[in-house]
Amino acid sequence: MIEHEDSDEERRQEERFAKKLFVRFTRLEDLMADVPYRDGQLLDISGGGLCLLAEEALPLGSQLVMVLEFPGWHAAADGRWIATKVEEDVGVLRVVGMVSWVAVSRDKPELYETGVSFSGMVTA
């Protein structure tokens, strides 16, 4: 067994910051009716979808248009994302997805955890 004197904290090259990321979203049918975007808190994200906290239970199967902003990132013209670690740099991702599940949040029972599966990306 190999023992390391340095803890994980001591080996980190860069300081980590806790960030709350927010997502703006609207249902696809509300987009044409000029209904304003709503705010939600991003809980997690993967290549296939995301989970957000919303103030209302969105209907299963709803198509959402979402705008996510990532401070410290830059979206390059070729589609790659570059970590700049500069808070003023904000990468913006616009995606479309379908509500696949909804549950009352255990931590905040007045809000709804909403699972969204990505179905596309908006480029304009």
User: What's the pLDDT at 31?
Assistant: 85
Rounded mean pLDDT, 99-108: 96
Q: Which fold has domain 20-121?
A: Thrombin, subunit H (2.40.10)
DSSP string for residues in the chain: ----SS-HHHH-SS-------EEEEEEHHHHTTTPPPEEEEEEEE-SSEEEEEESS-PPTT-EEEEEEEEETEEE-TTS-EEE---TT-EEEEEEEEEEEEEEE-SS-TTSEEEEEEEEEE---
* Banded pLDDT at 87 (limits 50, 70, 90): confident
Q: Is residue 12's pLDDT more than 80?
A: no
Domain map (residue ranges) of the chain: 20-121
CA dist., res. 88 & res. 103, Å (int)? 34
* pLDDT tens-digit series, residues 52-65: 999 999 999 999 99
